[in-house]
Amino acid sequence: MRTATVNRVEALAEAQLGVLTRAQCLGLGMTSGAIRWMVHSSRWRRVHPGVYATHVGPLEWRARVSAAVLYCGEGAVASHRTAARLHGLVDQDPHGIEVLIPANRRVAQPSQIRLATCVDVAGRTAPSGWPSRTSVEDTVLDLAERGDADNAIAWLTKACQQRRTTTKRLAEALDKRTRHRWRELLVDALGDVGEGVESVLEYRYVRRVERPHGLPNARRQRVVISGGRRRRTDNDYEPFGVVVELDGRLGHEGEGVFRDRTRDNVATVSGKASLRFGWADVDAQPCEVAHDVAVLLRSRGWRGQLTPCGVGCRVMSRTG
């Protein structure tokens, strides 16, 4: 091959994480014979039909995604958990590779690639980055649609908590979709997330404890500086000096215990009273949690009225 052709091929391969298509190679001036020779001489290897890796060793995960997107052709983008990994929303490389293609195209599906179709792939594609992938917002909405309500809220809060997107951009992306399994839930939840809710547990506290029982609105994720260190409180009832912290499923052992103790100590030293609840409390006993919070708030000046969340609310049996 001519030096100019070699340089063009190598440059494109580098940009695509060591992966090329047969069509690209021919377009850059390679001949069919030259491509066959590269494969037969073990300088390249075939990854998918018409897609080659420019080295013979194992392909790292991103290179495999690149190969999958190239194999699926024009308009194809990584999607769902594959896109989530590319955006940094998840820490582990998914086992399979998920690709979204335009609805008017058909692709023979290799066993290691999971395909989905969409009428407006271009409108859901991130403006930059290789391998091409769905935008952060559309990735979140795609994954939210797959599971239950808690799963939907978890993806919403995670993306915003990690500063990968904003509630405004998520709302705009949701507005463009004519259908979504959890549309009403997500529209409703975006307001709470915008006010600082950062997890499913925090969302449940707002929706099952605080709001339906008439408790005052706490300030979410308030930053407190103590000893030169920044710490955040989950729910800070500032006018009354009361803090409610929420423990998720994890974080009760080792370093998590130390962080919780430090946070509670900071609240106590600053003159605040602190309550702590976990999943079992908020999920199974929201009325009792509301009662406990109300008792502490009243002892510190709250004059509001605790209200029942509905028929059979257990909070009324504990008020006098």
Domain boundaries, the chain: 3-59, 77-194, 213-318
pLDDT of residue 2: 78
Task: Please indicate whether residue 93 or residue 56 has the higher confidence score (pLDDT).
Answer: 93
Q: How far apart are CA 59 and CA 64, in angstroms?
A: 6
Lowest mean pLDDT among 1-5, 93-97, 197-201, 253-257: 253-257
Q: Kindly state the tokens that stand for 227.
A: 């000893």
pLDDT of residue 222: 86
In this structure, what token pair is assigned to residue 293? 């919070």
CA–CA separation, 90 and 104 (whole Å) = 30
- Write down the pLDDT at residue 241: 94
The mean pLDDT value for 249-260 works out to: 45
pLDDT at 264: 56
Residue with tokens 């300030």: 219
Residue written as tokens 């058909």?
Answer: 106
pLDDT at 269: 43
pLDDT at 32 over 70: yes
Which sign does the torsion angle of CA 79, 62, 127, 72 carry?
A: negative
Rounded CA gap, 183 and 200, in Å? Answer: 17
Q: How far apart are CA 89 and CA 154, in angstroms?
A: 11
pLDDT tens, 67-92?
999 999 999 999 999 999 999 999 99
- What angle (nearest 5°) sits at the alpha carbon of residue 76, between those of residues 73 and 81? 135
The set of residues, in sequence order, having a beta carbon less than 8 Å from that of 110 and lying 6+ positions away, is 48, 68, 71
Confidence of residue 252 (pLDDT cuts 50, 70, 90): very low
Q: What is the pLDDT of residue 111?
A: 81
Query: Which residues, in sequence order, are CB contacts of 69 under 8 Å at separation 6+?
Result: 76, 77, 78, 99, 131, 132
Residue 35 Cα to chain centre, angstroms? 41
Amino acid at 108: A
Give residue 135's pLDDT: 98
Q: How confident is the model at residue 257 (pLDDT cuts 50, 70, 90)?
A: very low
- CA 256 to mean position of chain CA atoms: 22
pTM: 0.85
Tell whether domain 213-318 is in CATH 3.40.960.
yes
